[in-house]
Amino acid sequence: MNDIDHRVLGNKLDLFHQQEEGAGMVFWHPRGWELYRVLEDYIRARMRRAGFREIRTPQLLARSLWEKSGHWEKFGAAMYSLADAEEGRALCLKPMSCPCHVQVFNQRVRSYRELPVRYSEFGACHRDEPSGSLEGLKRTRAFVQDDAHVFCTEAHIEAEVGRFCSLLRAVYADLGFPDFKVALATRPAMRAGNDQTWDRAEEALANAARAAGLEFDLLEGEGAFYGPKLEFHLTDSRERSWQCGTIQLDFVLPDRLDAEFVNERNERERPVMIHHAVLGSMERFIAMLLEHHEGWLPVWLAPEQVVVATISDANAAYAQEVMQALDDAGIRALLDGRPERLEKKIVDAREKQVPIFVAVGSRDERDRTISIRMRDGQQSTLALAEGVEHLRVGALPPPLRSGF
């Protein structure tokens, strides 16, 4: 493994580890979990702004649901199953969240006036991947997917695909991937639904993609078993391609799981279901971020954004005051009050790949200032309140910085 492999970075930066007793699973350390939660909160805010309502659904469900949806036939070999001895039925850990979202939609009679209905979830999923295919965070047996689903009519498809494409563009740019490639994956050999249904779905998704200004390549036979999909491929700093976001159009699952709404003629009708993911697997996307940025994450994503270092023990009280001001401003800061030379503290902060270094000395304490050193070497000395505000704005996620 090279120095920018996310597994090497995960160990060096104390973010996570994996071990034999939990093969394919992740033990998140405090710094890694901080990164995870910052990314999750950012996606949550973006999804809310795009009109999605967050829900939470069970991880363990009766196998009969997966049989009805068609997932058991397609994914059964990769699903974790167990027997409920008391009730005498088979249960499965979910490999994805889509059938669960249909259950939420189905809990009451829906009117066409309510559509589109948009749900999002950070869904905890499990898949029994072969041991030889496991690769750090890139391929795991337990992962969280930023699942989202829209229930709508065919008339809504173009607008909903356009809405999500706008969201994808904004998110990828914020995370350092302004350019991406798109592929339209069409009907696979093993699929649900008839050819007429697939013709409608593929044509509708292709037209919606064109209306959203997307150019795409065709991937024949690579669609989901229930419908065609748009795949969004990002290119990292090493020119490697990563398939991340997806938009999948589904006329099949609503029929299999009895989803319906009352149309304007007071008749029961099946909705169209649009499956979405921005990042895909959270774990895999974090691996990509670490390797793309070589561990130097953007300030707003860094587990610790600032190290506050004392120049001598005499400045400890003022350093604590600076720490409190940063904490009050929502800045993730770490205090280095060790009796070490300042140069040693600077080197150690760089080893942890913390992007901002603040030194606090006797002159700073006397003048009520802080001395700021950025990762690129740029230095400045600012009054405490002004410096904290400067750091606060720079530490915000891009949409908040721009008045989102």
**pLDDT, tens digit only, all 404 positions of the chain:** 788 899 999 999 999 999 999 999 999 999 999 999 999 999 999 999 999 999 999 999 999 999 999 889 888 899 999 887 677 789 999 999 999 999 999 999 999 999 999 999 999 999 999 999 999 999 999 999 999 999 999 999 999 999 999 999 999 999 999 888 999 998 887 787 777 888 888 888 898 889 988 888 888 887 877 788 999 999 998 899 999 999 999 988 999 999 999 999 999 999 999 999 999 999 999 999 999 999 999 999 999 999 999 999 999 999 999 999 999 999 999 999 999 999 999 999 999 999 999 999 999 999 999 999 999 889 999 999 999 999 999 999 887 665 44
In a domain, 300, yes or no: no
In a domain, 384, yes or no: yes
Q: How many CB atoms lie within 10 A of CB 314?
A: 11
Catalytic: 147? yes
- Report the pLDDT value the prediction gives residue 404, as an integer from 0 to 100: 44
Examine the fold and report which residue of 292, 321, 343 is the final residue of a domain before the chain moves on. 292
346: buried, middle or exposed (CB in 10 Å: 19+, 13-18, 0-12)? middle
Catalytic: 118? no
Q: Which of 92, 98, 125, 165 is catalytic?
A: 98
Report the C-alpha gap between 273 and 156 in whole angstroms.
11
CB 121, CB 148: distance < 8 Å: yes
Determine the length of the chain: 404
Catalytic: 98? yes
End-to-end CA distance of the chain: 40
In a domain, 144, yes or no: yes
Say yes or no: 314 and 226 in one domain.
no
Report the C-alpha gap between 51 and 118 in whole angstroms.
7
Q: Which of 31, 118, 275, 284 is catalytic?
A: 275
Catalytic: 100? no
CATH number at residue 272: 3.30.930.10
Q: Which of 92, 118, 145, 332 is catalytic?
A: 145
The residues facing 336 across adjacent strands are 309
- Report the pLDDT value the prediction gives residue 110, as an integer from 0 to 100: 97
Among the listed residues 32, 167, 161, 147, the one whose alpha carbon sits nearest the alpha carbon of residue 100 = 147
Q: Which of 94, 118, 138, 149 is catalytic?
A: 149
Say yes or no: 258 and 349 in one domain.
no
Residue-number span of the structural domain to which 331 is assigned: 306-401
Say yes or no: 288 and 333 in one domain.
no
Say yes or no: 269 and 310 in one domain.
no
Report the C-alpha gap between 392 and 371 in whole angstroms.
15
User: Which positions ≥6 away from 37 have C-beta within 8 Å?
Assistant: none
Among the listed residues 297, 286, 294, the one whose alpha carbon sits nearest the alpha carbon of residue 140 = 286
In a domain, 1, yes or no: no
User: Which positions ≥6 away from 390 have C-beta within 8 Å?
Assistant: 372, 382
Say yes or no: 279 and 382 in one domain.
no
Examine the fold and report which residue of 237, 262, 292 is the final residue of a domain before the chain moves on. 292
In a domain, 299, yes or no: no
pTM for the structure as a whole: 0.93
- Spacing of C-alpha 157 from chain mean position: 24
Say yes or no: 124 and 200 in one domain.
yes
Say yes or no: 75 and 205 in one domain.
yes
Q: Which of 31, 63, 94, 127 is catalytic?
A: 127
Say yes or no: 72 and 189 in one domain.
yes
Amino acid found at 84: D
Catalytic: 127? yes
Examine the fold and report which residue of 292, 325, 352 is the final residue of a domain before the chain moves on. 292
In a domain, 176, yes or no: yes
CA dihedral 350, 352, 358, 359 (to 10 degrees): -70
Say yes or no: 218 and 250 in one domain.
yes
In a domain, 96, yes or no: yes
- Report the pLDDT value the prediction gives residue 162, as an integer from 0 to 100: 92
Among the listed residues 304, 328, 310, the one whose alpha carbon sits nearest the alpha carbon of residue 389 = 328
Q: Which of 6, 110, 118, 147 is catalytic?
A: 147
Catalytic: 275? yes
Report the C-alpha gap between 75 and 96 in whole angstroms.
10
The pair of structure tokens assigned to 401 is 């910085």
Segment 367-375 long-range contacts (CB within 8 Å, at least 24 positions apart): 370/322, 373/346, 375/296
Report the C-alpha gap between 377 and 139 in whole angstroms.
37
Q: Which of 229, 276, 332, 345 is catalytic?
A: 229
In a domain, 55, yes or no: yes
Catalytic: 276? no
Say yes or no: 354 and 241 in one domain.
no
Domain count, the chain: 2
CATH number at residue 363: 3.40.50.800
Say yes or no: 130 and 231 in one domain.
yes
Say yes or no: 34 and 159 in one domain.
yes
